[in-house]
Structure 1
Amino acid sequence: MADRITDKQVVTVLRPFVRATTPMLDALRDANPLGAARRALPTHATPVDHEDAQELAKVKRGLRRRLLRGLESVQFPGTTAWETMTVDQRDRWWVNRVGRVTVLLASIPGLGGALADRLPIQNALATAGQALMLTAIAAEHGVTDQAERVRLIAKVLFNRDIDPHLAAGHGDHLTPAQETEAAKKLTEDLDESTKRHGKVTVKATARALRRLAQTLWSLGDELDKRPQGRFYHRALGYLPIIGMAADYLGERSALKRAAKKGRKWLAAHPPT
């Protein structure tokens, strides 16, 4: 029989995990799609005397205003529309945003049917995706404290009520320096992508998600406690080929369940 995973072990894994997810989510949340447009479009027409040139400048100004108004109406972090969205609407946005990437990656092993479903990577990827989503919606609810995010993930995914003192890093197995180094290693691909391309690429995101999943493997059977898809999703997931589609739908359902449980926990533990 495997040794029981303790709360201390859970915290030791989750503290650097939470720190590693924050830079990725901050990059997405703070990204302003208007920035490039504002830099690229002229802010005023160049003074000219020619009547045709003045008319052209007027048209350009009109196009710029319409483009920026259109961008501002897009529901994306940094836009005017985002500021008018409710917290529930932002939560749903994050579920869809995270789901498109993490759920697809988690469901790809389903192409192999039952054999692939026995591999730990699928469960670990799905768990990492749910934890990433929970961190995102926690921020939308005003919860920025690392310890509270650890407690949120531990409760929703592993059904553990972690002591706040322990969640804050008192009594875990990592020193502050070790925790910082562990979190930095998890985000290496994101940092390298930013240095090389000036942005976080999809490939770097996938690699970072895999690193996050790998760090959860040490929690073993705890991963099986996370919210799961419907029973029929799991049944169809054992079939070759169509298993991927079933796994995808199942993980989307599981992600929504995790979000619902997360909102319930956050409502009961508002930030102080």
Structure 2
Amino acid sequence: MGEPISDRHVVKVLRPFVRAAGPMVDALRESDPFGLTTQTAQTAQNSEGDTESTVRARLAEALKSVRVPGSVAWNAMDVDDRVDWWVNRVGRFTSLLTAAPGLLGALADRLPVQDTMGVASQGLLLCAIAGEHGVTEVAERVRLIGWVLFERDIDPRIAEGGYEGYDVAGENERTAELSEDLPEGGRRNSRLGVKAGARTLWKLGRSLFAITGELEKRPSGRLYHQALGALPVVGLVGNYFGERAGLRRVAKRARTWFAEHR
């Protein structure tokens, strides 16, 4: 048995993770996929006496009720509604990616693929949830992830990397590697492509190999999900619903953390 993983080592791994996950969450939140925030007003302004513009205006008005980042409906949602959106909408996608190793049946248990992708998805969603609560500090997000996923109450000073010997240059370099496929920061309406998102999620997952022993602590599904997940082919179904259950537990633990720490 190896030596226990220290909080300092966990922080060394999580700080680049959080810094790279932040821009990915921002790209998903701030993108305007339907042009709702930039086109609606102008379309309505030019619609009078123009049949085609009138149709476009009515379509834009209908799309305003769609609950996606950048829409009027999104801006009207409260924090709990937005958290539910991240868990239920984005969670379905990340859970499916995480459950894919279930096609291998019990063989997948010999590899840390599912735990790695699963914890990366859960960490990404925790960063999104933190954003909806107005928590943008890297150290606070590190503490949130450490508490929810790894059952650690990390000291704020350690979470800030504010101790002698911490490798700030290494953190910056690792962050750049993890986020190199993401849209450049500061550009509004920048699109996060599926391939770039998938590559970044995979890199985020691989970055957590350094704390493999901690990944087993993350919230997961029930025993029957695990039993079904051990079967070939249909294991995909068991793993999918197991990851969905795990995400709900993550959201519940996050609510507890915010109630106790904010």
TM-score, with normalisation over the residues of structure 1?
0.88
Q: What is the correspondence of 1:1-272 to structure 2 with a 5 Å cutoff?
A: 1-35=1-35, 38=39, 43-44=45-46, 55=49, 57=50, 59-171=51-163, 174-191=166-183, 199-270=191-262
Q: CA contact under 8 A between 1:12 and 1:172: conserved in structure 2? A: no
Where does the alignment leave 5 or more consecutive residues of structure 1 unmatched? 46-53, 193-197
Structure number with larger C-alpha Rg: 1
Number of aligned residue pairs: give it: 256
How much has 1:98 moved relative to structure 2? 2.7
Equivalent pairs: percent with the same residue?
A: 51
Question: How many Å apart are 1:149 and its aligned residue?
Answer: 0.4
CA shift in 2, pair 1:12/1:247, >3 Å: same
Change (3 A) 1:128 1:173: farther
Query: How much is the aligned-residue C-alpha RMSD, in angstroms?
Result: 2.2
**Could you say if the C-alpha distance between residues 191 and 85 of structure 1 is closer, same or farther in structure 2, counting changes exceeding 3 Å?**
closer
Query: How big is each residue's C-alpha offset from its partner over 1:250-272, in whole Å with a ceiling of 9 and x where there is no partner?
Result: 001001111110111012222xx
SS of the aligned residue for 1:8 comes to: helix
Structure 1 residue identity aligned to 2:10: V
- The AA in structure 2 aligned to 1:137 is I
Instruction: Kindly indicate whether the alpha-carbon contact (under 8 Å) linking 2:21 and 2:127 is maintained by their aligned counterparts in 1.
Output: yes
Distance in 2 between residues matched to 1:73 and 1:172, nearest whole Å: 51
TM-score normalised by length of structure 2: 0.91
Where does the alignment leave 5 or more consecutive residues of structure 2 unmatched? 185-189
Change (3 A) 1:173 1:159: farther
Distance 1:174 1:16, change over 3 A: farther
Q: Secondary structure at the match of 1:225?
A: coil
Runs of 4+ in 1 over 6 A off after TM superposition: none
